[in-house]
């Protein structure tokens, strides 16, 4: 396969992938303005005197995409067993479109305006008296992106992909017409080397382009 054809093929694959991404983001935005989707992974590990609980959540709601992490660590002298368990959970529930609440976080104002918000918090709690004190450490953070922002980024990537595709197609089209792939000069009489710009054309690429 000639380098021109390989470049063109890569450009086509990138262009198709970018259009599919845009369609997926558009569907996500339209579909989650009134609905809420979430994929959760919850896991718990117990070792001597310790319980670790971790929840990872990927969700879309109100036209926003969320990532959330919740972690809690309990230190308790009563924990004896060793165990680890994890499970996935998928939830799809309708929302009342009236209770639209864009997330608010700690981020600077300009980030909120372009559709990004983030927040985090942590707390420590102790229960009981020595020597049987139970300590609970709790922390969570989340980040949310407006689907319209993601869609705008996706569309910008598609514009770049279209530009790349057109650039990759140009030498290919020129070769097909018997022109120099670099400058467009007629090289039908001198197919190996362009008399105008001196660029050397691989004969296999010419044959490839002409089919």
**Residues binding Zn ion (CB under 5 A):** 180, 182-183, 185, 194, 196-197, 199
The distance of closest approach from Cβ of residue 172 to Zn ion in the complex, given in angstroms and rounded to an integer, is 15
Give all strands (DSSP E) within 48-110, no chain letters.
50-61, 64-75, 83-94
How far apart CA 197 and CA 175 sit, in angstroms, is 15
Nearer CB in complex with Zn ion: 44/196 = 196
Nearer CB in complex with Zn ion: 102/195 = 195
The distance of closest approach from Cβ of residue 194 to Zn ion in the complex, given in angstroms and rounded to an integer, is 3
Nearer CB in complex with Zn ion: 27/197 = 197
Q: What is the DSSP letter of 45?
A: E
Which candidate, 1, 14, 6, 3, places its Cα nearest to that of 165? 14
How far apart CA 118 and CA 140 sit, in angstroms, is 11
The distance of closest approach from Cβ of residue 163 to Zn ion in the complex, given in angstroms and rounded to an integer, is 22
How far apart CA 143 and CA 137 sit, in angstroms, is 21
The distance of closest approach from Cβ of residue 200 to Zn ion in the complex, given in angstroms and rounded to an integer, is 10
Nearer CB in complex with Zn ion: 104/192 = 192
The distance of closest approach from Cβ of residue 187 to Zn ion in the complex, given in angstroms and rounded to an integer, is 7
Nearer CB in complex with Zn ion: 34/178 = 178
The distance of closest approach from Cβ of residue 209 to Zn ion in the complex, given in angstroms and rounded to an integer, is 15
Tokens of 9: 């093929």
Nearer CB in complex with Zn ion: 12/182 = 182
- C-beta contacts of 161-169 below 8 A and 24+ residues apart: 161/11, 161/14, 161/15, 161/18, 162/15, 164/11, 164/14, 164/15, 165/8, 165/11, 165/12, 165/14, 165/15, 167/11, 168/4, 168/7, 168/8, 168/10, 168/11, 169/8, 169/11
Q: Centre a 10 Å sphere on the Cβ of residue 146 and count the other Cβ atoms it contains.
A: 21
């Amino acid at each position: 396969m000639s380098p021109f054809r390989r470049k063109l093929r890569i450009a086509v694959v990138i262009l198709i992938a970018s259009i599919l991404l845009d369609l997926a983001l558009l569907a996500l935005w339209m579909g989650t303005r009134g609905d809420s989707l979430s994929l959760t992974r919850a896991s718990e590990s117990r070792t001597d005197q310790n319980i670790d609980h971790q929840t990872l959540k990927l969700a879309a709601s109100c036209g926003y995409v969320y990532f959330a992490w919740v972690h809690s660590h309990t230190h308790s002298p009563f924990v004896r067993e060793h165990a680890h368990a994890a499970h996935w959970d998928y939830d799809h529930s309708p929302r009342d479109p009236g209770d639209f609440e864009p997330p608010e976080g700690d981020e600077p104002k300009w980030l909120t305006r372009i559709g990004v918000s983030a927040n985090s918090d942590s707390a420590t709690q102790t229960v009981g008296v020595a020597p049987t004190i139970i300590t609970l450490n709790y922390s969570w953070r989340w980040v949310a992106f407006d689907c319209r922002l993601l869609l705008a980024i996706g569309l910008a990537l598609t514009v770049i992909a279209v530009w790349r595709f057109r650039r990759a197609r140009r030498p290919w089209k020129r070769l097909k017409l018997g022109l120099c792939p670099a400058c467009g000069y007629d090289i039908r009489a001198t197919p190996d080397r362009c008399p105008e710009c001196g660029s050397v054309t691989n004969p296999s690429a010419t044959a490839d382009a002409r089919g």
